[in-house]
Amino acid sequence: MIDLACAGSDSFEQVLRKWQAQVLRTAYRILGNWADAEDVAQEAFLRLHRHGLGFASDAAMGGWLYRVTVNLCFDRARARRSKEPSAELLESLSEAAVAESGMIREQQKQRLMAALAALPVKERAAVVLREIEGLTTAETAAALGSTEGTVRSQIFRAMAKLRTLLGQERV
Amino acid sequence: MNDNELRGLFSEMREDLVPAESLARVRMAVAGRVQARRRVLGMGWKIAAALAVGGCLAAVMLRPRAVAPVPVAPAPSAIIAVEQSAPVIAPPPKPAVHMPVRAVAKPARHAQEAPASHVDAGGAHEIRIENPYDPDVVIVLIGG
């Protein structure tokens, strides 16, 4: 998992500083905008404060934080289901990115982010946790509250959709 | 774009920086809400303490008063009773009755050293046994 010092003796302020970037980035990747991601991160850390820091290990705290963050993202995505990004958004975003950025790698990232936004939220969360955040399949399954088989299946489907959305078939 | 390229992009995105202003906003908002929660909790404790003190005061004020002790008439002391009844108790001379010799045979141990005086009172035989350790105690045996 992520390499972090043990949280046993950390104060809440230290834990907040240590984890906020990961929580905020994960929420942003799932939700697609920073404002919602900030709200989710705030709520996740407040829940951590209410829960207390009595975790057996840093990995346990990380798993707990990812699970809370993902659940909050699901709640928020469910509440604004009608505003799910569409294929039109994907197209416009990719074109805007190409027009504005001269860097090919940056263009590719922009297109990939837009394609991610077009995925169903659970598939998106699985890809974000395992492929971007680098969790194992088991950790991803724990964070999503599902099984490893389900996670593998979701990632397989998501990758196929991403390849399609990005206009290239598997080589 | 194939799977390898996708995974390469994913791993690069893992290192993407989060906007500093977003981090600062989250940190300040969380700190503010945590402090607000602490204030609410502190207020709750203060209210609970005030209620507890008030409850204790109310319990003390509403506690039933202790009943004042009823004055009890002093019982006549045994000495007075003895003094008053002493003349009554004095036995009149009785006709000669055969008395068992037990009292003479086994006098009280504390009176063993005292000499018994024999007085002939009006035909009745009276034995006075005085206790040398307690001059107030006199055992009078009256017999025929």
The C-alpha atoms of residue B32 and residue A151 are separated, in whole angstroms, by 37
CB nearest to B26's CB, from A42, A127, A171 = A42
What is the predicted pLDDT for the residue at A93?
52
Cα-based distances in Å from A156 to A149, A160, A164, B136: 11, 6, 13, 119
B47 vs chain A: nearest CA distance in angstroms? 21
Question: Could you tell me if A38 lies within 8 Å of chain B, comparing CB atoms?
Answer: yes
The C-alpha atoms of residue A143 and residue B7 are separated, in whole angstroms, by 21
User: Which pTM does this prediction carry?
Assistant: 0.60
What is the predicted pLDDT for the residue at A2?
40
What is the predicted pLDDT for the residue at A12?
87
Contacts 24+ apart (CB under 8 A), B31-36: B31/A13, B33/A42, B33/A46, B34/A12, B34/A46, B34/A49
What is the predicted pLDDT for the residue at A5?
39
From first to last of the 171 residues of chain A, give the pLDDT tens digit: 343 334 444 688 888 988 999 999 999 999 988 999 999 999 999 999 988 888 888 888 899 999 999 999 999 988 876 555 544 445 545 555 555 555 777 888 888 888 888 899 999 999 999 999 999 999 999 999 999 999 999 999 999 999 888 875 443
Q: Is the dihedral of CA A10, A13, A19, A21 positive or negative?
A: negative
Q: What are phi and psi of B137, to 5 degrees?
A: -100, 120
What is the predicted pLDDT for the residue at B90?
59
Question: Could you tell me if B47 lies within 8 Å of chain A, comparing CB atoms?
Answer: no
What is the predicted pLDDT for the residue at A109?
83
For B1, the closest chain A residue by CA position comes to: A168
CB nearest to A24's CB, from B2, B7, B22 = B22
pLDDT digits (tens, 9 = 90+) for B5-20: 888 888 888 888 889 9
CB contact set of A162 (below 8 Å; sequence gap of 6+):
A112, A115, A116, A119, A127, B6
Question: Could you tell me if A168 lies within 8 Å of chain B, comparing CB atoms?
Answer: yes
What is the predicted pLDDT for the residue at A112?
87
What pairs with residue B118 in β-bridges?
B127
Size of interface A-B (CB pairs under 8 A): 81
What is the predicted pLDDT for the residue at A26?
92
Query: Which B-chain residues 17-46 have CB contacts (< 8 A) with chain A?
Result: 18-19, 22-23, 25-27, 29-31, 33-34, 37
What is the predicted pLDDT for the residue at A6?
43
What is the predicted pLDDT for the residue at B101?
54
Half-sphere exposure of A120 (CA within 13 A, CB side): 8
From first to last of the 144 residues of chain B, give the pLDDT tens digit: 778 888 888 888 888 888 999 999 999 999 898 888 888 888 888 888 899 999 999 988 888 776 666 666 666 555 555 555 555 555 666 666 565 555 555 555 655 555 666 666 566 678 888 888 888 888 888 876
For B34, the closest chain A residue by CA position comes to: A46
Question: Could you tell me if A21 lies within 8 Å of chain B, comparing CB atoms?
Answer: yes
DSSP helix, strand, coil percent of chain B (3-state; round to 5): 50, 15, 30
Could you say which DSSP state residue B118 is in? E
Question: Could you tell me if B10 lies within 8 Å of chain A, comparing CB atoms?
Answer: yes
What is the predicted pLDDT for the residue at A166?
84
pLDDT digits (tens, 9 = 90+) for A96-105: 555 555 577 7
Half-sphere exposure of B112 (CA within 13 A, CB side): 5
Which tokens belong to A29?
């990747």
CB nearest to B22's CB, from A38, A45, A127 = A38
Cβ contacts of A166 on chain B, cutoff 8 Å? 1, 6
